[in-house]
Structure 1
Amino acid sequence: MRSIVYHGVGPRIAYERRIAGLAQHALAERARVALGTIRKIERGERGVSDAVLAAIADALDVDPTRLLPDGELPDGHMHQAMPGLSAVLAAYEESDDGPLRTLPALREAVATVVTYRLSAQYARIARAAPGLLAELCRALHAAVPGDRPVVARLLVDACRAADAVAFKRGAKDLSARLLDLMHWAGARADDPIVDATVSYVRAELHFGAQTHAVGLRVLERALDRAPRTDSCEALAARGALHMRAAVLAGRSGNGDAADTHLDHARELGDRVPEGVYHGTAFGPDSVRVHEVSVAVSLGDGRLDRALRLAHEWKPPRDLPAERRSGFYIELGRAQLWAGRPDAAFTSLKVARRIAPQHAREHRWVREDAATLRRLKRADAESLTNFAEWCHARAGG
């Protein structure tokens, strides 16, 4: 899989760096990028990934698109992926001819896109997903009975990665169809933990439709079916369902149900080490992130609780980037509602630094950036740059 790299940005970075009055070593320190890398970029000896581009732009306090040649947009690859994904979804129930790698090679390819999802590298997923999904569908049709559940699990994981792109881009119909493919594959995996994972992911349909109470009931039924063993995988599967159920309960205004599910999630989180289980981060740190999310959803008297928790604890660097970025997006909303716009803007910038593509595609980031811009409670140029970067509407 090719990395997404933008070329021709060196002169623009050097120009903006000089305008900012920064030496190369100062820019490297601010952006947390190696000095040698900065020098090579400015000399045109290497290109720039999305993450490095965003880090440099943040250090220079400019919109990343100002550093790109010819108005190129960092998310162009996502748009290009949509037709390919649609083609796969139109024909997945029928076998077709095409290349087919070995099962170990497919495992490695899926592990790569799962890593991309957890680190919020959606453009990379967009490049890989159409071909990988088509190949996995072929593999599932061609698999011998003993391999079929394994290939089905791989297809579930790949669908989840592709859905992350569609969902973040607001392509709701495409996202729903990817979730249908995931459900179809999950039924062929013959694994109750995969069933729990599919239920966890499909709950996002209720976030998009704002049918939170219905989604809560769906997850509670999934919890009734979830495996009851004491393996780390089973404990994490149940814990993840409780975390998502808590957020749905919070969004529906059901504080009692939210607290109950959070209590269950904490208890299960204390029994497993923080880690990624079947593609979902779970453990004590993930539960803390969801505590902030629930508090923000319920608002009012819960905001102090969210702010207090965030003051006492920050997500560790080994937590997946998408989850850490989400924590600061939620925190920024709590700070904004609590009348702390400067702190909110700082949190949004931290979210962008951790996972630029995740922050850029998040609806709350756009809404909060537009509100901050309207309030004019921070440097106008900085807010304008940020709002343009995340496509925030000027009118809020």
Structure 2
Amino acid sequence: MPPTQPGSVGRRIAYYRSVARPKMTQQQLADRAHVALGTIRKIERGERGVTDDTLDAIAGALGVDPSRLVADREHVSTRIRDALPALSAAIATYDMPEDGPVRPLAELQEAVAQATAWRLSAQYLQIARTLPDLLAELARAAQECQRVDRAQVAALLVTAYRCADAVAYKYGARDLSARLIELMRWAAPDANDPLLQASVSYVRTETFFAARAHASGLRALEQAVDACPEPVTHEAIAARGALHMRAAVIAGRAGSPHAADGHLTEARALGDRVAEGIYQGTAFGPDSVRIHEVSVAVSLGNDHVQRAYDVAREWKPPADLPAERRSGFYIELARAQLWGGLMDDSFESLKVARRIAPQHTREHPWVREDAATLRRLRRADAETLTSFAEWCHAD
């Protein structure tokens, strides 16, 4: 791909370098990105553009998504969509992968953990770039590993498929997403871990959301709750609690407020028993449950928006929650505010969501729908709203 235009990208790189903790010098950035110091200096001064490979290396060294460093975020979305066929090819050969190297188990675990961190922080370009090769390598590892390692490799495969699914689902490749979820279900039994099975059931709900088969999705989640281990350990509490959170939302979509409230009550009780954290790749705890209170209110429809206002009036997601979850809170709050006629507040919530996780926000269908509605209804700040609507491709 051609290099980006110099100037703005250099200023963004300099900014993120200056706010890094600890603050990073140009030499440190060059060393971590494996880029010449002179190149970093010229980029920051706006004297040269940046190729995709160099931009990705710099973003990785800074710990930010490449989309935060460029003005042309359409280019980032295009790169992600262009990578989806490679993901399809990688899973097409899940049971007969091409020959190639396989790193030691510890290195594979580290690579999958990094992909999970990218998923939680909504860094989809990083996942799209790296997952095809990682999935192929894990498929080789699954064929070559000794029995003692088989369960660990199977668990890594499930987790990696989940990371790939996050990209496919968010970018509208629903058939690819469904295939990835089926591969999660295929690999999970070999991991011999009931809590991992629960996380697969949690993710599988995407297929029911996509098909608008909400009643069926609710039944599947309730069966998963019944099969989940007793909530005696923190991991088991979180697994069961996450299933109840998900069930509450899909019950709302199914038009069952009683079931939604019941599952939300169960989730709240379980959330109070553990600290907020990441369990089996899913955020769970008191803060996540609060976010789902807003999700449930929106799922139940505009007659329930007061519940969303009540949560938002008293509380905001803390900065240490995963970016995807925090941005989702503001996206759903924006919808509730729009339904309640609070158009200025709704637009502000959408802008907060964009600041937290630009890729997640840009590809969310509700953002497009609500931005289009706001543009039709509003008169003030029309230029800024139009710019936002064009950014997210609102009709």
Question: Within 5 A, what are the aligned runs for 1:267-282?
Answer: 267-282=269-284
Kept in 1: contact 2:305–2:336 (CA 8 A): yes
How many Å separate the matches in 2 of 1:229 and 1:387?
A: 45
How many Å separate the matches in 2 of 1:163 and 1:6?
A: 29
Partner residue of 1:84? 86
How many Å separate the matches in 2 of 1:184 and 1:280?
A: 20
**Within the alignment, does 1:127 sit opposite 2:124 as a pair?**
no
The gaps in structure 2 that reach 5 residues or longer are 27-39
Kept in 2: contact 1:100–1:139 (CA 8 A): yes
Kept in 2: contact 1:54–1:353 (CA 8 A): no
**Within the alignment, does 1:107 sit opposite 2:104 as a pair?**
no
Larger deviation: 277-286 or 44-53?
A: 44-53
Residue of structure 2 aligned with 1:179, choices 178, 181, 184:
181
**Within the alignment, does 1:235 sit opposite 2:237 as a pair?**
yes
Deviations 1:269-308 (A, max 9, x none): 0011000001000000000000000001112442111111
Change (3 A) 1:275 1:84: same
Change (3 A) 1:345 1:229: closer
Kept in 1: contact 2:67–2:359 (CA 8 A): no
Kept in 2: contact 1:342–1:377 (CA 8 A): no
SS in 1 for 2:190: coil
Partner residue of 2:334? 332
Kept in 2: contact 1:6–1:49 (CA 8 A): no
Identity, in percent, stands at 57
Residue of structure 2 aligned with 1:201, choices 177, 189, 203:
203
How many Å separate the matches in 1 of 2:330 and 2:275?
A: 23
Kept in 2: contact 1:249–1:258 (CA 8 A): yes
The alpha-carbon deviation at position 112 of structure 1 amounts to 0.5
Name the count of aligned residue pairs: 367
Kept in 2: contact 1:196–1:237 (CA 8 A): yes
How many Å separate the matches in 2 of 1:54 and 1:371?
A: 26
Change (3 A) 1:256 1:6: farther
Partner residue of 1:387? 389
Kept in 2: contact 1:303–1:338 (CA 8 A): yes
Question: Within 5 A, what are the aligned runs for 1:336-375?
Answer: 336-375=338-377
Partner residue of 1:251? 253
The gaps in structure 1 that reach 5 residues or longer are 15-23, 58-63
Partner residue of 1:21? none
How many Å separate the matches in 1 of 2:381 and 2:231?
A: 54
How many Å separate the matches in 2 of 1:173 and 1:152?
A: 23
Deviations 1:58-99 (A, max 9, x none): xxxxxx33xx7xxx6121221222121111222212254111
Kept in 1: contact 2:9–2:69 (CA 8 A): no
Partner residue of 1:8? 5
How many Å separate the matches in 2 of 1:385 and 1:315?
A: 26
Residue identity matched to 2:44: I
Residue identity matched to 2:217: G
Residue identity matched to 1:275: G
Partner residue of 2:321? 319
The alpha-carbon deviation at position 237 of structure 1 amounts to 0.4
Residue of structure 1 aligned with 2:263, choices 261, 264, 274:
261
The alpha-carbon deviation at position 41 of structure 1 amounts to 3.3
Deviations 1:130-174 (A, max 9, x none): 001111111111111111010111111110010000001101111
TM-score, length-normalised on structure 2? Answer: 0.86
Question: Within 5 A, what are the aligned runs for 1:132-147?
Answer: 132-147=134-149
Deviations 1:214-266 (A, max 9, x none): 10000000111001141111110000000000000011110000000000000
How many Å separate the matches in 1 of 2:380 and 2:139?
A: 50
Partner residue of 2:225? 223
TM-score, length-normalised on structure 1? Answer: 0.86
SS in 2 for 1:230: coil
Residue identity matched to 2:90: V
Partner residue of 2:33? none
**Displaced runs of 4+ in structure 1, greater than 2 A?**
4-9, 11-14, 31-57
Cα root mean square deviation, aligned: 2.8
Residue identity matched to 1:106: L
Question: Within 5 A, what are the aligned runs for 1:269-308?
Answer: 269-308=271-310
The alpha-carbon deviation at position 332 of structure 1 amounts to 0.4
Partner residue of 2:44? 41
Change (3 A) 1:96 1:43: closer
Identify the structure with bigger relative contact order (alpha carbons < 8 Å, sequence gap 6+): 1
SS in 1 for 2:76: coil
SS in 2 for 1:74: helix
Change (3 A) 1:311 1:190: same
Deviations 1:307-352 (A, max 9, x none): 1110100000000000000000001001101001111010000000
SS in 2 for 1:203: helix
Larger deviation: 35-44 or 303-312?
A: 35-44
Partner residue of 2:119? 117
